[in-house]
Structure 1
Amino acid sequence: MTGSSGGEASALRSLADAAPRPYWLDAHTPPEPRSALTADRRADLVIVGGGYTGLWAALQAKEYDPGLDVVLLDADLCGSAASGRNGGFCASSLTHGIRNGVDRFAEEMPELEAHGLANLDGIEQSVARYGIDCDFHRAGELDVATQPWQLADLADTAELAARYGHQVRLLDGGQIRTEVDSPTYLGAVEMSRAVAMLDPARLAWGLRRACLELGVQIHEWSPAVGVERERGGLAVRTPYATVHAARGILATNGFPPLLRRLRSYIIPVYDYVLVTEPLTDRQLDAIGWRNRQGISDSGNQFHYYRRTEDNRILWGGYDTVYYYGGQVRDELTQRPRTHALLASHFFQTFPQLEGVRFTHRWGGVIDTCSRFCPFVGTALGGKLGYALGFTGLGVGATRFAAAVLLDKLYGRYTERSQLRMMNSMPRPLPPEPLRWAGIQLTRWSLSRADRRGGQRNLWLRTLDRAGLGFDS
């Protein structure tokens, strides 16, 4: 997408009052923090990380065995990182989309899609069971084509989705613009049950409350600084004290994992987001969008966007950034150039919303890997489990991965724990500077493909043949 200089100036004005912090963490008062760990203690299970993976692991562990002594450690406040600031798309897909799954796990896709839909049902049931007020609604998702070359891919995706049991509707340009009106839309695939929309921070806080009610011991402001195997289990060290536990789980997303050998598998990348002021009834009428579906477009570099409970539009994606050396620093959560680009793209998509202001702008690290979907494993003699690589689509998949980890740690033979996807690792990434150079070349090539009718150059075709390719 490109815009005129006048359009760029208007986009910049829309950012004038945008606060540099996540909307979700600003819209509601967070819970009171739990005290830091200041004395050594023993536990049956210790979990490092209070995001979705860690919280779902703690909750499911206590549901399975209420007598289990579970301790959860978080470096800040539960839900304060990726789990509290994402777009709120809770997808059934465990493989970051059907096409990516077919490319990597074709023989397992019927089972993976069935598990994914059942997992989403399970999340919906847990939200109801524990009274989690997080604006959960099974609104579905629209994948829209904004270039002619994307229409054939959408038709293929619709056929695959129907084959794997999804409710699917293929829409032409007129039909999609009846649903949501943008002059850029040429067609779409609607999957009405595959995605729920929710408030991500309130989901995290609700899971935290449910864990506490079931007896999980949560210590915030307690960063884990080391993990070692010891007789009878393992030890997780924090600045003040140590947890000695029979088993443990690492759920640290894009932050540097405590196990050094995992660092060659994880790529921490930054994703950036804007949120508008609440739209008026007249503005909503101008774009339609009555059903609050999530929306993403079909470019290799794609946007994702959705309506919030109070009729704002969250707008993110497209310009995902990797910083040399895999840096993870607070100051990287703001990138004015990317926020300006996103604002410009927003008004190209919805020109009828000219004059709308953005109230929040932020970014944050997500964990991706060479297969663009999660992997799980164990270490330290099978006593320590980990789940990583969610690539920004972990609101739903974290619950499934956490359940598989518990199966593995406690020796439970289940259908989900035997899946090849859950028993294989992505390919490791090369060290710097090759890693940085490869990622920059890939980003440039994907952008070029979007400008050239989807045509993939030699570099992208080489990645495809090596099993490392990806598009949206």
Structure 2
Amino acid sequence: MKLIANAAEMRAIPRSTEFRNGGVSFWYRDAGLPERRAPLPGDADYDVCVVGAGYTGLWTAYYLKKARPDLRVAVLEREFAGFGASGRNGGWLSAEFAGSRERYAESHGKGAVIALQRAMMAAVDEVIEVAEAESIDADIVKGGMRTVATNPAQKARLLEEITYLQEWGYWPEDFYLLEPDHEPRLRVDGTIAEAFSPHAARVQPAKLARGLAAAVAALGVDVFEDTAVTEIRGRQGGESAAAVTERGTVRAAHVIRATEGFTASMAGERRQWLPMHSSMIATEPLSAEAWKRIGWEGREVLGDAAHAYVYAQRTADDRIAIGGRGAPYRFGSGHDNNGATQPQAIAELWRALVRLFPAASEVPVAHAWSGVLGVSRDWCPTVHLDSAEGLGWAGGYVGSGVTASNLAGRTLRDLVLGRTTELTRLPWVGHRARGWEPEPLRWIGTQVSHGLYRTADRREADHGAETSTFADLAARISGR
């Protein structure tokens, strides 16, 4: 699979006359950009200050205010609520979680890891229930998740994954192999095996973020937008923890950092989490004839078993939205350009779309965009509260953040309120990883591992029956 798209390849991609690259994401083109809330008016004091109005920050504020309506809670956001990955992701509300189960088990035992997995499954339903209770229309359909294998190596890996997950908290009905004639039908070209999990739903991510922000504000949380936080300080010399902005300083008993992929822009946090880019494209609506050939009546979310995997959904208005790690890391932890993605990422995703769905090969691409997510050095997400410093944080979800952020928000609520609960005993609480290497080592390592994974996919597509050794080498380099 090529990494660079030339001009001829880009011309070959059918694009809508109203094609856009960036503009935050297609999801906001669909839902409309929100009217921005007022910025922080000056210095202020709160009980809890949340930095970042993505899913993690919004869920944390929501559950804190629901539990303790008297708490004074503020959310500070550099752009607008849902501007980052929360408004740009693939719309997978799934029970998958990133990170090594074995690493978590070393410190907390296997039972705690299984409890984390079951908690993720329950979080899928929690998000759906809150959306219903708060009248958030986010196009949610709980159709489950399908994972397809299109060559023998992928099939072998998929079968191994089913067995592996059943050792770590999945019951047989939680993830299983489908029969070839399974209904409802979803025809993915070249599929030789496919598995299904019921613990997943399709969601329109910007609608969820916008609705959640409105629910939080309605509870009495002060959401300040256009307010960039430049530094977070722990308690010092009897002074409260603080979030420092150009518009003023917010002092609070607890300051929660919920900046995920944008953490590297904070003072002192440059090597904490790697900002990993995911790119997406969305087509124009497909015709009834095309959908007759493809199926997808169940509106499942769809992924494949490749190393450089893709993820897709059938949208509420009958488009295909498909994403993947097109150009995953930019030198020096560079990130946002209002959601614009690179030409090679667009070409790569279009080739994946056509490979999986030949019936969509003539459908114009309407929108392309990218978002940035946070990756810890050991690829394990974490939730943490330092009571002495008054500082907390959560993130490192590596693509499972739509669900994991909800679980993290409820966990941060319990930690801030000083509760000892099943959530605060989960193994990601307090988990710490070392920082990423300095540049240029960080950039070189990510580029090499990215290329190795794609080389492995090419080798396996040439009918290799086993996982390529290039993938094993990539995993060792990346630390996965």
Please indicate, yes or no, whether the TM-score normalized by the shorter chain is above 0.5.
yes
Q: 217-226 or 402-411, which moves further after superposition?
A: 402-411
Matches within 5 A, 1:283-294: 283-294=290-301
Q: 1:314 & 1:191 partners in 2: Cα distance?
A: 20
Aligned residue in 2 for 1:112: 116
Q: 368-377 or 71-80, which moves further after superposition?
A: 368-377
Matches within 5 A, 1:340-355: 340-355=347-362
Aligned residue in 2 for 1:418: 425
**Structure 2 CA distance for partners of 1:254 and 1:6, relative to 1, 3 Å:** closer
Does the 8 Å CA contact 1:375/1:426 hold for their aligned counterparts?
no
Using the aligned pairs only, state the percent identity: 30
**One of 90, 95, 98 as aligned partner of 2:93:** 90
Aligned residue in 1 for 2:319: 312
Cα displacement string for residues 170-191 of structure 1 (whole angstroms, at most 9, x for unaligned residues) = 025x336972213221111100
Q: 2:222 & 2:96 partners in 1: Cα distance?
A: 31
Q: Is the partner of 1:292 in helix, strand or coil?
A: coil
**Structure 2 CA distance for partners of 1:432 and 1:86, relative to 1, 3 Å:** same
Aligned residue in 2 for 1:392: 399
Q: For the aligned residues, what is the CA RMSD? A: 2.7
**One of 308, 312, 321 as aligned partner of 2:328:** 321
**Structure 2 CA distance for partners of 1:366 and 1:308, relative to 1, 3 Å:** same
**One of 39, 42, 51 as aligned partner of 1:39:** 42
**One of 139, 143, 146 as aligned partner of 1:139:** 143
Q: 2:343 & 2:424 partners in 1: Cα distance?
A: 43
Is residue 281 of structure 1 aligned with residue 288 of structure 2?
Answer: yes
Is residue 457 of structure 1 aligned with residue 448 of structure 2?
Answer: no
**One of 205, 219, 228 as aligned partner of 1:223:** 228
Amino acid at match of 1:433: P
Matches within 5 A, 1:438-453: 438-453=445-460
**Structure 2 CA distance for partners of 1:6 and 1:390, relative to 1, 3 Å:** closer
Q: 358-367 or 443-452, which moves further after superposition?
A: 443-452
Aligned residue in 2 for 1:63: 66
- Deviation of 1:38 after TM superposition, in Å, equals 1.6
- Deviation of 1:49 after TM superposition, in Å, equals 0.4
**Structure 2 CA distance for partners of 1:293 and 1:10, relative to 1, 3 Å:** farther
**Structure 2 CA distance for partners of 1:352 and 1:364, relative to 1, 3 Å:** same
Cα displacement string for residues 16-44 of structure 1 (whole angstroms, at most 9, x for unaligned residues) = 64211311011123443211112222111
**One of 251, 255, 258 as aligned partner of 1:244:** 251
- Deviation of 1:56 after TM superposition, in Å, equals 0.1
**Paired residue total:** 463
Does the 8 Å CA contact 1:61/1:406 hold for their aligned counterparts?
yes
Does the 8 Å CA contact 2:322/2:349 hold for their aligned counterparts?
yes
**Structure 2 CA distance for partners of 1:459 and 1:175, relative to 1, 3 Å:** closer
Cα displacement string for residues 238-285 of structure 1 (whole angstroms, at most 9, x for unaligned residues) = 212221211110111111357655432311121111000011111110
TM-score for the superposition, normalised by structure 2 = 0.89
Q: 2:21 & 2:119 partners in 1: Cα distance?
A: 38
**Structure 2 CA distance for partners of 1:45 and 1:160, relative to 1, 3 Å:** same
- Deviation of 1:449 after TM superposition, in Å, equals 1.9
Does the 8 Å CA contact 2:379/2:479 hold for their aligned counterparts?
no
Aligned residue in 2 for 1:130: 134
**Structure 2 CA distance for partners of 1:53 and 1:9, relative to 1, 3 Å:** closer
- Deviation of 1:458 after TM superposition, in Å, equals 7.3
Q: Which runs of 5+ in 2 are unaligned?
A: 461-465
**One of 407, 412, 416 as aligned partner of 1:409:** 416
- Deviation of 1:13 after TM superposition, in Å, equals 3.0
**Structure 2 CA distance for partners of 1:459 and 1:129, relative to 1, 3 Å:** closer
Does the 8 Å CA contact 2:255/2:390 hold for their aligned counterparts?
yes
Does the 8 Å CA contact 1:251/1:386 hold for their aligned counterparts?
yes
Does the 8 Å CA contact 1:171/1:187 hold for their aligned counterparts?
yes
Q: 1:355 & 1:68 partners in 2: Cα distance?
A: 54
**Structure 2 CA distance for partners of 1:258 and 1:447, relative to 1, 3 Å:** closer
Amino acid at match of 2:101: G
**Structure 2 CA distance for partners of 1:121 and 1:287, relative to 1, 3 Å:** same
Aligned residue in 2 for 1:101: 101
Does the 8 Å CA contact 1:176/1:185 hold for their aligned counterparts?
no
Does the 8 Å CA contact 1:171/1:189 hold for their aligned counterparts?
yes
Does the 8 Å CA contact 1:35/1:220 hold for their aligned counterparts?
yes
Aligned residue in 2 for 1:179: 185
Q: 2:239 & 2:188 partners in 1: Cα distance?
A: 60
Q: 2:86 & 2:249 partners in 1: Cα distance?
A: 25
- Deviation of 1:469 after TM superposition, in Å, equals 4.5
Aligned residue in 2 for 1:366: 373
Q: 2:339 & 2:84 partners in 1: Cα distance?
A: 13
Does the 8 Å CA contact 1:232/1:246 hold for their aligned counterparts?
no
Does the 8 Å CA contact 1:227/1:258 hold for their aligned counterparts?
no
Does the 8 Å CA contact 2:77/2:227 hold for their aligned counterparts?
yes
Aligned residue in 2 for 1:78: 81
Q: 2:346 & 2:10 partners in 1: Cα distance?
A: 13
Q: 1:34 & 1:203 partners in 2: Cα distance?
A: 17
Cα displacement string for residues 204-229 of structure 1 (whole angstroms, at most 9, x for unaligned residues) = 11111111111101111111122223
Does the 8 Å CA contact 1:14/1:355 hold for their aligned counterparts?
no
Amino acid at match of 1:63: K
Matches within 5 A, 1:158-173: 158-162=162-166, 164-165=170-171, 166-171=173-178
Q: 2:416 & 2:265 partners in 1: Cα distance?
A: 18
- Deviation of 1:10 after TM superposition, in Å, equals 7.0
